Structure 1
Amino acid sequence: MIQDGTARAVSMSEGRMSITGVAGRFVQGIGRHLRLEASSLRIVAGFARADDGLRETSRIEGDARVSGDSLGRAGFEGSAGTIALVLRPLPAGGEARILLTLGYRDDESGYVAELWGPATLFEALKRDILTGAAEHLSLSATTSLWVREEERDASPALPVSWHLGLEPGGQRSAGARGLVESIDWGNAAESPAEPQPLLAAPAEDELPDDPVSDELRRINWSLKLLLLLLAFLLIIVAMK
Protein backbone atom coordinates (compact mmCIF):
# COMPACT_ATOMS: atom_id res chain seq x y z
CA MET A 1 0.00 0.00 0.00
CA ILE A 2 1.04 3.60 -0.60
CA GLN A 3 2.46 5.68 2.21
CA ASP A 4 1.42 9.35 2.32
CA GLY A 5 3.74 11.39 0.11
CA THR A 6 4.92 8.38 -1.92
CA ALA A 7 4.19 8.60 -5.65
CA ARG A 8 2.96 5.53 -7.57
CA ALA A 9 2.16 5.18 -11.26
CA VAL A 10 -1.57 5.11 -12.07
CA SER A 11 -2.88 3.72 -15.36
CA MET A 12 -6.39 3.65 -16.82
CA SER A 13 -7.42 1.18 -19.49
CA GLU A 14 -10.91 0.19 -20.69
CA GLY A 15 -12.57 1.53 -17.56
CA ARG A 16 -10.13 -0.16 -15.19
CA MET A 17 -7.59 1.48 -12.87
CA SER A 18 -4.26 -0.11 -11.97
CA ILE A 19 -1.81 1.23 -9.39
CA THR A 20 1.84 0.19 -9.25
CA GLY A 21 2.46 -1.83 -6.12
CA VAL A 22 -1.24 -2.59 -5.53
CA ALA A 23 -2.53 -6.06 -6.41
CA GLY A 24 -5.55 -6.30 -8.68
CA ARG A 25 -7.49 -3.65 -10.60
CA PHE A 26 -10.37 -1.32 -9.79
CA VAL A 27 -13.56 -0.67 -11.80
CA GLN A 28 -16.50 1.78 -11.71
CA GLY A 29 -20.18 1.61 -12.58
CA ILE A 30 -21.17 -1.63 -10.89
CA GLY A 31 -24.89 -0.82 -10.83
CA ARG A 32 -25.23 -0.57 -7.07
CA HIS A 33 -25.74 2.37 -4.72
CA LEU A 34 -23.63 3.85 -1.98
CA ARG A 35 -25.69 4.33 1.20
CA LEU A 36 -24.85 6.93 3.85
CA GLU A 37 -26.49 7.48 7.23
CA ALA A 38 -25.92 10.72 9.15
CA SER A 39 -26.66 12.01 12.64
CA SER A 40 -25.87 15.11 14.74
CA LEU A 41 -27.45 17.30 12.06
CA ARG A 42 -26.86 21.01 12.72
CA ILE A 43 -27.35 24.32 10.94
CA VAL A 44 -24.38 26.61 10.34
CA ALA A 45 -25.15 30.16 9.15
CA GLY A 46 -22.65 32.56 7.60
CA PHE A 47 -21.56 34.87 4.81
CA ALA A 48 -18.44 35.15 2.66
CA ARG A 49 -17.04 37.94 0.52
CA ALA A 50 -17.90 37.77 -3.18
CA ASP A 51 -17.07 39.97 -6.18
CA ASP A 52 -20.41 41.76 -5.94
CA GLY A 53 -20.61 41.99 -2.13
CA LEU A 54 -21.51 39.26 0.35
CA ARG A 55 -22.62 35.72 -0.43
CA GLU A 56 -24.60 33.62 2.03
CA THR A 57 -22.81 30.41 2.99
CA SER A 58 -25.44 28.76 5.18
CA ARG A 59 -25.15 25.00 5.29
CA ILE A 60 -26.23 21.90 7.19
CA GLU A 61 -23.55 19.70 8.72
CA GLY A 62 -23.65 16.21 10.16
CA ASP A 63 -21.62 13.10 10.98
CA ALA A 64 -22.08 10.36 8.40
CA ARG A 65 -21.11 6.72 8.01
CA VAL A 66 -21.30 4.27 5.13
CA SER A 67 -24.16 1.83 5.68
CA GLY A 68 -23.55 -1.85 4.92
CA ASP A 69 -20.36 -1.39 2.90
CA SER A 70 -17.06 0.39 3.58
CA LEU A 71 -15.18 3.32 2.04
CA GLY A 72 -11.41 3.56 1.63
CA ARG A 73 -8.77 5.06 -0.64
CA ALA A 74 -7.27 3.04 -3.47
CA GLY A 75 -3.65 2.38 -2.60
CA PHE A 76 -3.93 3.45 1.03
CA GLU A 77 -4.53 1.49 4.22
CA GLY A 78 -7.62 1.91 6.38
CA SER A 79 -11.24 2.80 5.80
CA ALA A 80 -13.55 5.66 6.70
CA GLY A 81 -15.10 5.91 10.13
CA THR A 82 -16.99 9.16 10.57
CA ILE A 83 -17.44 11.18 7.36
CA ALA A 84 -17.96 14.94 7.61
CA LEU A 85 -21.25 15.64 5.83
CA VAL A 86 -22.10 19.10 4.45
CA LEU A 87 -25.33 19.99 2.63
CA ARG A 88 -25.57 23.26 0.69
CA PRO A 89 -28.40 24.77 -1.36
CA LEU A 90 -27.91 25.05 -5.09
CA PRO A 91 -27.90 28.59 -6.54
CA ALA A 92 -31.30 29.92 -7.55
CA GLY A 93 -32.42 28.27 -10.77
CA GLY A 94 -29.90 25.45 -10.31
CA GLU A 95 -30.30 21.75 -10.95
CA ALA A 96 -33.47 20.03 -9.73
CA ARG A 97 -31.27 17.14 -8.63
CA ILE A 98 -29.22 16.33 -5.55
CA LEU A 99 -25.51 16.16 -6.34
CA LEU A 100 -22.85 14.51 -4.19
CA THR A 101 -19.08 14.88 -3.96
CA LEU A 102 -16.81 12.63 -1.90
CA GLY A 103 -13.19 13.31 -1.05
CA TYR A 104 -10.37 13.06 1.43
CA ARG A 105 -8.58 16.03 2.98
CA ASP A 106 -5.06 15.61 4.32
CA ASP A 107 -5.90 17.33 7.59
CA GLU A 108 -8.11 16.59 10.56
CA SER A 109 -11.19 16.61 8.30
CA GLY A 110 -10.38 13.26 6.69
CA TYR A 111 -13.25 11.94 4.59
CA VAL A 112 -15.78 14.55 3.45
CA ALA A 113 -19.14 14.22 1.68
CA GLU A 114 -20.80 17.34 0.24
CA LEU A 115 -24.39 17.48 -0.97
CA TRP A 116 -25.82 20.15 -3.28
CA GLY A 117 -29.61 20.16 -3.34
CA PRO A 118 -32.50 22.36 -4.47
CA ALA A 119 -33.37 25.22 -2.13
CA THR A 120 -36.75 23.60 -1.39
CA LEU A 121 -35.04 20.50 -0.01
CA PHE A 122 -32.54 22.55 1.98
CA GLU A 123 -35.27 24.66 3.57
CA ALA A 124 -37.43 21.63 4.37
CA LEU A 125 -34.56 19.85 6.12
CA LYS A 126 -33.53 23.05 7.90
CA ARG A 127 -37.09 23.51 9.19
CA ASP A 128 -37.27 19.93 10.47
CA ILE A 129 -33.90 20.22 12.21
CA LEU A 130 -35.11 23.34 14.04
CA THR A 131 -38.29 21.56 15.19
CA GLY A 132 -36.45 18.39 16.20
CA ALA A 133 -38.05 16.32 13.46
CA ALA A 134 -34.76 15.58 11.67
CA GLU A 135 -32.07 14.02 13.85
CA HIS A 136 -31.05 11.27 11.44
CA LEU A 137 -30.65 11.27 7.65
CA SER A 138 -30.20 8.48 5.10
CA LEU A 139 -29.36 8.69 1.43
CA SER A 140 -28.68 6.41 -1.50
CA ALA A 141 -26.51 7.52 -4.42
CA THR A 142 -24.98 6.40 -7.69
CA THR A 143 -21.31 7.46 -7.62
CA SER A 144 -18.03 7.34 -9.54
CA LEU A 145 -16.34 5.48 -6.67
CA TRP A 146 -14.21 2.44 -7.49
CA VAL A 147 -14.43 -1.17 -6.31
CA ARG A 148 -12.01 -4.02 -6.82
CA GLU A 149 -12.64 -5.84 -10.07
CA GLU A 150 -13.49 -9.10 -8.31
CA GLU A 151 -16.27 -7.31 -6.37
CA ARG A 152 -17.99 -5.87 -9.44
CA ASP A 153 -20.57 -8.67 -9.66
CA ALA A 154 -20.94 -9.25 -5.91
CA SER A 155 -24.42 -10.16 -4.68
CA PRO A 156 -26.40 -7.17 -3.32
CA ALA A 157 -26.57 -9.12 -0.04
CA LEU A 158 -22.78 -8.98 0.32
CA PRO A 159 -20.85 -5.84 1.35
CA VAL A 160 -18.31 -4.25 -0.99
CA SER A 161 -15.40 -1.92 -0.35
CA TRP A 162 -15.78 1.40 -2.17
CA HIS A 163 -12.61 3.37 -2.95
CA LEU A 164 -11.67 6.90 -3.87
CA GLY A 165 -9.41 6.85 -6.91
CA LEU A 166 -5.84 8.13 -7.13
CA GLU A 167 -4.80 11.38 -8.82
CA PRO A 168 -2.48 11.10 -11.87
CA GLY A 169 0.47 12.24 -9.74
CA GLY A 170 0.07 9.11 -7.65
CA GLN A 171 0.28 10.83 -4.25
CA ARG A 172 -3.21 12.04 -3.38
CA SER A 173 -6.67 10.52 -3.46
CA ALA A 174 -8.97 11.76 -6.23
CA GLY A 175 -12.48 12.97 -5.47
CA ALA A 176 -15.65 11.21 -6.61
CA ARG A 177 -18.98 12.56 -7.83
CA GLY A 178 -22.45 11.16 -7.54
CA LEU A 179 -26.17 11.65 -8.02
CA VAL A 180 -28.46 11.09 -5.03
CA GLU A 181 -31.34 8.77 -5.93
CA SER A 182 -33.21 9.15 -2.63
CA ILE A 183 -32.91 10.95 0.70
CA ASP A 184 -34.94 10.54 3.91
CA TRP A 185 -34.77 11.93 7.42
CA GLY A 186 -36.53 11.53 10.76
CA ASN A 187 -36.09 11.89 14.52
CA ALA A 188 -34.41 9.63 17.07
CA ALA A 189 -37.63 7.91 18.03
CA GLU A 190 -38.42 7.10 14.40
CA SER A 191 -35.26 6.67 12.35
CA PRO A 192 -35.63 7.16 8.58
CA ALA A 193 -36.46 4.08 6.57
CA GLU A 194 -33.92 2.61 4.21
CA PRO A 195 -33.86 4.93 1.17
CA GLN A 196 -35.66 3.59 -1.88
CA PRO A 197 -34.46 4.63 -5.35
CA LEU A 198 -36.60 7.34 -6.92
CA LEU A 199 -36.01 5.85 -10.34
CA ALA A 200 -35.62 2.26 -11.43
CA ALA A 201 -32.08 1.19 -12.21
CA PRO A 202 -31.31 1.48 -15.93
CA ALA A 203 -31.62 -1.79 -17.80
CA GLU A 204 -28.10 -1.29 -19.17
CA ASP A 205 -26.67 -1.90 -15.69
CA GLU A 206 -28.15 -5.41 -15.66
CA LEU A 207 -26.80 -6.68 -18.96
CA PRO A 208 -25.35 -10.22 -19.00
CA ASP A 209 -21.63 -10.45 -18.28
CA ASP A 210 -20.11 -10.83 -21.76
CA PRO A 211 -17.61 -8.70 -23.73
CA VAL A 212 -20.28 -6.81 -25.71
CA SER A 213 -22.50 -6.01 -22.72
CA ASP A 214 -19.42 -5.10 -20.69
CA GLU A 215 -18.45 -2.55 -23.33
CA LEU A 216 -22.02 -1.17 -23.42
CA ARG A 217 -21.96 -0.87 -19.64
CA ARG A 218 -18.73 1.15 -19.78
CA ILE A 219 -20.18 3.45 -22.46
CA ASN A 220 -23.36 3.95 -20.42
CA TRP A 221 -21.30 4.73 -17.32
CA SER A 222 -19.10 7.19 -19.21
CA LEU A 223 -22.24 9.08 -20.32
CA LYS A 224 -23.45 9.23 -16.71
CA LEU A 225 -20.11 10.66 -15.57
CA LEU A 226 -20.20 13.24 -18.37
CA LEU A 227 -23.68 14.40 -17.28
CA LEU A 228 -22.49 14.67 -13.67
CA LEU A 229 -19.47 16.71 -14.72
CA LEU A 230 -21.69 19.10 -16.71
CA ALA A 231 -24.01 19.49 -13.70
CA PHE A 232 -21.12 20.47 -11.43
CA LEU A 233 -19.73 22.89 -14.01
CA LEU A 234 -23.13 24.61 -14.10
CA ILE A 235 -23.00 24.99 -10.31
CA ILE A 236 -19.55 26.58 -10.49
CA VAL A 237 -20.69 29.01 -13.20
CA ALA A 238 -23.84 29.92 -11.25
CA MET A 239 -21.85 30.70 -8.10
CA LYS A 240 -19.50 33.14 -9.83
Structure 2
Amino acid sequence: MVETGATRRVAMAQGLMTVEGSPDRYVQGLGRSLRLVAGGLRMVGGFTLREGQVEDATRIEGQAQLAGDRLMRAGFPGEATWLALTIRPLATAGEARALLILSFRETEDQPEGAYLAEIYAPQRVFDGLAGAVGGRLACRLSMTAVTSLWVRESERETAPGVPVSWFLGVEADGRVSAPARGLVETLEWHPAGAGEVEPAASHDEDPAETTPDLLGRINWSLKQIALVLMFLLIVVALK
Protein backbone atom coordinates (compact mmCIF):
# COMPACT_ATOMS: atom_id res chain seq x y z
CA MET A 1 0.00 0.00 0.00
CA VAL A 2 1.35 3.43 -0.93
CA GLU A 3 1.80 5.77 2.04
CA THR A 4 -0.90 8.36 2.75
CA GLY A 5 -0.13 11.66 1.00
CA ALA A 6 2.08 10.03 -1.64
CA THR A 7 1.38 10.19 -5.35
CA ARG A 8 -0.26 7.06 -6.76
CA ARG A 9 -0.02 6.22 -10.42
CA VAL A 10 -3.48 5.62 -11.87
CA ALA A 11 -4.12 3.91 -15.21
CA MET A 12 -7.36 3.54 -17.19
CA ALA A 13 -7.81 1.05 -20.03
CA GLN A 14 -10.95 -0.52 -21.51
CA GLY A 15 -13.05 0.55 -18.55
CA LEU A 16 -10.61 -0.84 -15.98
CA MET A 17 -8.83 1.27 -13.36
CA THR A 18 -5.57 0.20 -11.74
CA VAL A 19 -4.04 2.08 -8.82
CA GLU A 20 -0.45 1.80 -7.67
CA GLY A 21 -0.26 -0.06 -4.38
CA SER A 22 -3.50 -1.98 -4.92
CA PRO A 23 -3.52 -5.58 -6.21
CA ASP A 24 -7.06 -5.17 -7.57
CA ARG A 25 -8.45 -3.84 -10.82
CA TYR A 26 -11.66 -1.82 -10.66
CA VAL A 27 -14.70 -1.29 -12.87
CA GLN A 28 -17.54 1.14 -12.35
CA GLY A 29 -20.56 -0.60 -10.87
CA LEU A 30 -23.07 1.06 -13.17
CA GLY A 31 -25.44 -1.90 -13.15
CA ARG A 32 -25.83 -2.00 -9.35
CA SER A 33 -27.69 0.22 -6.90
CA LEU A 34 -25.99 1.70 -3.86
CA ARG A 35 -28.16 1.52 -0.74
CA LEU A 36 -27.87 3.94 2.18
CA VAL A 37 -29.77 4.22 5.47
CA ALA A 38 -29.53 7.29 7.69
CA GLY A 39 -30.60 8.48 11.11
CA GLY A 40 -30.15 11.43 13.44
CA LEU A 41 -31.88 13.72 10.93
CA ARG A 42 -32.04 17.37 11.98
CA MET A 43 -32.77 20.72 10.37
CA VAL A 44 -29.98 23.31 10.12
CA GLY A 45 -30.92 26.85 9.13
CA GLY A 46 -28.79 29.81 8.11
CA PHE A 47 -27.44 31.96 5.33
CA THR A 48 -24.12 32.35 3.53
CA LEU A 49 -22.68 35.57 2.13
CA ARG A 50 -20.85 34.93 -1.13
CA GLU A 51 -19.66 37.53 -3.62
CA GLY A 52 -22.08 40.09 -2.26
CA GLN A 53 -25.04 37.70 -2.48
CA VAL A 54 -27.09 36.30 0.40
CA GLU A 55 -27.85 32.60 -0.09
CA ASP A 56 -30.16 30.38 1.92
CA ALA A 57 -28.07 27.64 3.57
CA THR A 58 -30.99 25.66 5.01
CA ARG A 59 -30.21 21.96 4.96
CA ILE A 60 -30.89 18.61 6.62
CA GLU A 61 -28.02 16.78 8.29
CA GLY A 62 -27.64 13.27 9.64
CA GLN A 63 -25.44 10.19 9.67
CA ALA A 64 -25.63 7.52 6.97
CA GLN A 65 -24.35 3.98 6.54
CA LEU A 66 -24.26 1.56 3.66
CA ALA A 67 -26.90 -1.16 3.85
CA GLY A 68 -24.88 -4.37 3.77
CA ASP A 69 -22.09 -3.16 1.47
CA ARG A 70 -18.77 -1.49 2.27
CA LEU A 71 -17.28 1.83 1.10
CA MET A 72 -13.53 2.35 0.74
CA ARG A 73 -11.02 4.38 -1.26
CA ALA A 74 -9.04 2.76 -4.06
CA GLY A 75 -5.35 2.85 -3.18
CA PHE A 76 -5.94 4.01 0.41
CA PRO A 77 -6.35 2.05 3.66
CA GLY A 78 -9.47 1.97 5.82
CA GLU A 79 -13.19 2.00 5.12
CA ALA A 80 -16.23 4.10 5.99
CA THR A 81 -17.98 3.28 9.26
CA TRP A 82 -20.44 6.12 8.62
CA LEU A 83 -20.92 9.09 6.30
CA ALA A 84 -21.82 12.66 7.19
CA LEU A 85 -25.11 13.21 5.34
CA THR A 86 -26.24 16.61 4.05
CA ILE A 87 -29.44 17.16 2.06
CA ARG A 88 -30.00 20.46 0.26
CA PRO A 89 -32.64 21.70 -2.20
CA LEU A 90 -31.65 21.95 -5.85
CA ALA A 91 -31.22 25.50 -7.03
CA THR A 92 -32.72 24.69 -10.44
CA ALA A 93 -36.47 25.26 -10.46
CA GLY A 94 -38.51 22.43 -11.91
CA GLU A 95 -35.68 19.88 -11.64
CA ALA A 96 -37.22 16.44 -11.07
CA ARG A 97 -34.09 14.47 -10.20
CA ALA A 98 -32.27 14.05 -6.90
CA LEU A 99 -28.49 14.11 -7.22
CA LEU A 100 -25.97 12.34 -4.99
CA ILE A 101 -22.30 13.17 -4.40
CA LEU A 102 -20.04 10.89 -2.35
CA SER A 103 -16.59 12.10 -1.31
CA PHE A 104 -13.80 11.93 1.24
CA ARG A 105 -12.43 15.06 2.88
CA GLU A 106 -9.68 15.74 5.38
CA THR A 107 -10.46 18.56 7.84
CA GLU A 108 -8.62 20.25 10.70
CA ASP A 109 -10.97 18.81 13.31
CA GLN A 110 -10.85 15.38 11.65
CA PRO A 111 -7.26 14.78 10.51
CA GLU A 112 -8.14 11.14 9.80
CA GLY A 113 -10.68 12.36 7.25
CA ALA A 114 -14.40 11.86 6.82
CA TYR A 115 -16.70 10.31 4.23
CA LEU A 116 -19.45 12.63 3.01
CA ALA A 117 -22.78 12.00 1.29
CA GLU A 118 -24.55 15.02 -0.21
CA ILE A 119 -28.02 14.86 -1.73
CA TYR A 120 -29.47 17.68 -3.84
CA ALA A 121 -33.21 17.09 -3.91
CA PRO A 122 -35.98 18.80 -5.89
CA GLN A 123 -37.57 21.59 -3.85
CA ARG A 124 -40.84 19.68 -3.44
CA VAL A 125 -39.01 16.62 -2.08
CA PHE A 126 -36.83 18.73 0.21
CA ASP A 127 -39.84 20.60 1.60
CA GLY A 128 -41.67 17.34 2.26
CA LEU A 129 -38.69 15.83 4.07
CA ALA A 130 -38.00 19.05 5.99
CA GLY A 131 -41.61 19.13 7.20
CA ALA A 132 -41.38 15.50 8.29
CA VAL A 133 -38.10 16.11 10.13
CA GLY A 134 -39.55 19.17 11.86
CA GLY A 135 -42.63 17.17 12.87
CA ARG A 136 -40.48 14.24 14.05
CA LEU A 137 -42.02 12.03 11.39
CA ALA A 138 -38.68 11.30 9.72
CA CYS A 139 -36.30 9.64 12.16
CA ARG A 140 -34.81 7.28 9.59
CA LEU A 141 -34.19 7.64 5.89
CA SER A 142 -33.41 5.05 3.22
CA MET A 143 -32.34 5.58 -0.37
CA THR A 144 -30.95 3.82 -3.42
CA ALA A 145 -28.87 5.39 -6.16
CA VAL A 146 -26.94 4.54 -9.31
CA THR A 147 -23.46 6.04 -8.99
CA SER A 148 -20.02 6.22 -10.59
CA LEU A 149 -18.44 4.32 -7.67
CA TRP A 150 -16.05 1.52 -8.52
CA VAL A 151 -16.12 -2.17 -7.59
CA ARG A 152 -13.42 -4.81 -7.87
CA GLU A 153 -13.34 -6.49 -11.26
CA SER A 154 -13.85 -9.80 -9.47
CA GLU A 155 -17.14 -8.51 -8.02
CA ARG A 156 -18.56 -7.13 -11.26
CA GLU A 157 -20.92 -10.08 -11.77
CA THR A 158 -21.87 -10.47 -8.09
CA ALA A 159 -25.50 -11.58 -7.75
CA PRO A 160 -28.12 -9.09 -6.52
CA GLY A 161 -28.42 -9.02 -2.74
CA VAL A 162 -24.85 -10.22 -2.19
CA PRO A 163 -22.72 -7.53 -0.47
CA VAL A 164 -19.93 -5.86 -2.46
CA SER A 165 -17.21 -3.34 -1.68
CA TRP A 166 -17.56 0.09 -3.31
CA PHE A 167 -14.58 2.35 -3.93
CA LEU A 168 -14.02 6.03 -4.54
CA GLY A 169 -11.65 6.55 -7.45
CA VAL A 170 -8.41 8.54 -7.44
CA GLU A 171 -7.91 12.04 -8.81
CA ALA A 172 -5.58 12.50 -11.77
CA ASP A 173 -2.80 13.84 -9.53
CA GLY A 174 -2.82 10.53 -7.64
CA ARG A 175 -2.86 12.18 -4.21
CA VAL A 176 -6.51 12.29 -3.15
CA SER A 177 -9.72 10.36 -3.72
CA ALA A 178 -12.08 11.50 -6.47
CA PRO A 179 -15.74 12.13 -5.63
CA ALA A 180 -18.43 9.86 -7.07
CA ARG A 181 -21.72 11.16 -8.44
CA GLY A 182 -25.05 9.61 -9.20
CA LEU A 183 -28.82 9.82 -9.42
CA VAL A 184 -31.11 8.89 -6.54
CA GLU A 185 -33.65 6.21 -7.52
CA THR A 186 -35.67 5.99 -4.29
CA LEU A 187 -35.87 8.17 -1.18
CA GLU A 188 -38.06 7.18 1.78
CA TRP A 189 -38.33 8.31 5.40
CA HIS A 190 -39.88 6.66 8.42
CA PRO A 191 -40.97 7.81 11.90
CA ALA A 192 -39.62 6.35 15.13
CA GLY A 193 -40.98 2.92 16.01
CA ALA A 194 -41.89 2.07 12.42
CA GLY A 195 -39.64 -0.99 12.42
CA GLU A 196 -36.38 -1.55 10.66
CA VAL A 197 -35.91 0.05 7.29
CA GLU A 198 -35.75 -2.62 4.62
CA PRO A 199 -33.17 -1.85 1.93
CA ALA A 200 -34.84 -0.97 -1.34
CA ALA A 201 -34.81 -3.67 -3.98
CA SER A 202 -31.78 -3.61 -6.21
CA HIS A 203 -32.30 -3.22 -9.94
CA ASP A 204 -29.40 -5.46 -10.88
CA GLU A 205 -29.61 -7.70 -13.90
CA ASP A 206 -30.53 -11.36 -13.60
CA PRO A 207 -27.45 -13.10 -12.14
CA ALA A 208 -28.10 -16.09 -14.39
CA GLU A 209 -27.33 -13.99 -17.45
CA THR A 210 -23.75 -14.29 -18.70
CA THR A 211 -22.14 -12.11 -21.36
CA PRO A 212 -18.96 -12.63 -23.38
CA ASP A 213 -16.14 -10.22 -22.62
CA LEU A 214 -16.57 -8.36 -25.90
CA LEU A 215 -20.25 -7.69 -25.34
CA GLY A 216 -19.47 -6.77 -21.76
CA ARG A 217 -17.04 -4.09 -22.92
CA ILE A 218 -19.60 -2.75 -25.39
CA ASN A 219 -22.26 -2.66 -22.68
CA TRP A 220 -19.85 -0.91 -20.32
CA SER A 221 -19.04 1.69 -22.99
CA LEU A 222 -22.73 2.47 -23.53
CA LYS A 223 -23.26 2.86 -19.81
CA GLN A 224 -20.18 5.08 -19.56
CA ILE A 225 -21.51 7.36 -22.30
CA ALA A 226 -24.86 7.59 -20.50
CA LEU A 227 -23.09 8.37 -17.23
CA VAL A 228 -21.01 11.15 -18.81
CA LEU A 229 -24.17 12.74 -20.19
CA MET A 230 -25.79 12.41 -16.77
CA PHE A 231 -22.84 14.15 -15.10
CA LEU A 232 -23.02 17.02 -17.56
CA LEU A 233 -26.66 17.48 -16.57
CA ILE A 234 -25.67 17.34 -12.90
CA VAL A 235 -23.08 20.09 -13.37
CA VAL A 236 -25.65 22.29 -15.11
CA ALA A 237 -28.24 21.60 -12.38
CA LEU A 238 -25.84 22.58 -9.57
CA LYS A 239 -24.88 25.92 -11.14
Normalised by the length of structure 1, the TM-score is 0.90
Q: Distance in 2 between matches of 1:225 and 1:206?
A: 25
Q: Distance in 2 between matches of 1:102 and 1:226?
A: 16
Residue matched to 2:133? 129
Q: Distance in 2 between matches of 1:125 and 1:169?
A: 38
Residue matched to 1:219? 221
- The one-character-per-residue Cα deviations of 1:43-68 (angstroms, maximum 9, x if unpaired) are 01111113463110111001000111
8 Å contact from structure 2 (residues 26, 150) kept in 1: yes
- The one-character-per-residue Cα deviations of 1:99-156 (angstroms, maximum 9, x if unpaired) are 0000000122600000001000000001011111100000001010001100101122
The answer on 1:139 being equivalent to 2:143 is yes
Correspondences of 1:15-164 after superposition (within 5 Å): 15-51=15-51, 53-107=53-107, 108=110, 110-164=114-168
CA RMSD, Structure 1 to Structure 2 (Å):
2.1
Residue matched to 2:200? 195
* Correspondent of 1:229 among 225, 228, 231: 231
Q: Distance in 1 between matches of 2:11 and 2:150?
A: 14
The answer on 1:171 being equivalent to 2:175 is yes
Q: Secondary structure at the match of 1:215?
A: helix
Q: Secondary structure at the match of 1:232?
A: helix
Q: What code does the residue aligned with 1:85 have?
A: L
8 Å contact from structure 1 (residues 134, 185) kept in 2: yes
Q: Distance in 1 between matches of 2:104 and 2:191?
A: 29
Where do 5+ consecutive residues of structure 2 fail to align?
none
8 Å contact from structure 1 (residues 177, 228) kept in 2: no
Q: Distance in 1 between matches of 2:27 and 2:106?
A: 24
Q: Distance in 1 between matches of 2:125 and 2:234?
A: 18
Q: Distance in 2 between matches of 1:78 and 1:232?
A: 29
8 Å contact from structure 1 (residues 184, 193) kept in 2: no
Q: Distance in 1 between matches of 2:199 and 2:26?
A: 28
Q: Secondary structure at the match of 1:93?
A: coil
For this pair of structures, how many residues does the alignment match? 234
Where do 5+ consecutive residues of structure 1 fail to align?
none
Normalised by the length of structure 2, the TM-score is 0.91
